[in-house]
Amino acid sequence: MVFDIVTRSVKVPLMAARNNLKLKSAPRSPNNPGEMPAKRGRGRPAGDHAAKRAELVRVAIAVVAQEGFSGASLRKVAQRAGCTTGAVTYYFENKEAMVLAIVEGLWDEWDSYLAATEDDLKSGFERFLNWAKADESDPWLAGFQLIAHARLDPAFAAIYQRRYAHYRKTLARRLAKEQRRGKIRSDIPADLLADQLCAMADGWMIMFPIEPERFEAERMKALLDAMIVLVSPRGDKL
């Protein structure tokens, strides 16, 4: 016991001395040699915060698409991203926060598609269906998984309701504009047409993973052409 006390009494000054030497030899700021560089917070990853978060969201989408909602985890996202689980939890406190970020990100992407095709209804839906392509299918399949989960989670479902309502209103405004121009049939209110078109697209999205042969390129074009005929006055194409 006396030996332990003596050993500890020697170790403490030695550790202090080593720490003091480390502090003295620490690198200085390149802009001001007399200034110590700022320390990063514990566990805080270096680099652009927004870019890293967006990268992790993309990885999380792929994990949900391939593993399903129940199979997705922060650990699997970290493994696929090549980082630690701690780095992922810096951006997303838990799985729920990560999944909410995925949902918002998917809707942001779809809103950008809608904005990019403001005067072309057919192109907007074509871009929507292009999510189903083999090399771009992760967002489509992840969305399919998350919609199924929303049925069991009221808070989660509320996000879908809010974002979907915004999309339908935007689409209805666009259809109403085209009705005034005589490009869209006016015998059905624009909000009902918007709801019908959304239901049609939802059905395509749900069935694509189950019946991909229904959505080959040629048939997808035929489906879009048929949709345009359905909403055009007297069957005229836009």
Mind listing the pLDDT tens digit for each residue in 1-45? 333 433 433 334 434 433 443 333 344 444 444 444 444 444 455
Number of domains the chain contains? 1
Closest CA to 167 of 109, 214, 126: 109
Tell whether 91 is covered by a domain: no
Q: Within a domain: residue 122?
A: yes
pLDDT at 134: 54
Residues 6+ apart with CB under 8 A from 171: 114, 194, 197, 198
Is 138:65 a contact under the CB 8 Å cutoff? yes
Cβ count near 128 (within 10 Å): 18
CA 166 to chain centre: 17
Amino acid at 98: M
Burial track 58-91 (b if 16+ CB lie within 10 A, e otherwise): ebbbbbbbbbbbeebbbebbbeebebeeebbbbb
- Which of these ranges, 106-120, 199-213, 218-232, has the smallest mean pLDDT? 106-120
Residue 167 to residue 149: CA distance in whole angstroms: 20
Q: Is 224 a residue whose pLDDT tops 70?
A: yes
Q: What's residue 135's pLDDT? A: 58
88 in a structural domain: no
The CATH number of the domain where 110 resides is what?
A: 1.10.357.10
Q: What is the pLDDT of residue 48?
A: 80
* Residue 27 within a domain: no
Would 181 be classed as within a structural domain? Answer: yes
Q: Cα–Cα distance between 159 and 180 in angstroms, integer?
A: 32
Find the mean pLDDT for residues 196-207.
84
For residue 123, being part of any structural domain is answered with yes
Angle at 211 between CA 208 and CA 212, to 5 degrees: 65
- Over residues 91-142, the pLDDT tens digits come to 999 999 999 999 988 888 777 766 766 667 777 677 766 665 555 678 878 8
Would you say 91 and 56 are in contact if contact means Cβ atoms under 8 Å apart? yes
| CA pair distance 63, 72, nearest whole angstrom | 6
Segment holding 60, helix H or strand E: helix 49-71
| Within a domain: 52 | no
Range of the domain at 175: 96-235
Bigger pLDDT: 229 vs 237: 229
CB 86 within 8 A of CB 48: no
* Residue 218 within a domain: yes
Predicted local confidence at residue 117, as pLDDT: 61
Q: What is the pLDDT of residues 143-170, one digit of tens each?
A: 888 888 888 888 889 998 999 999 899 8
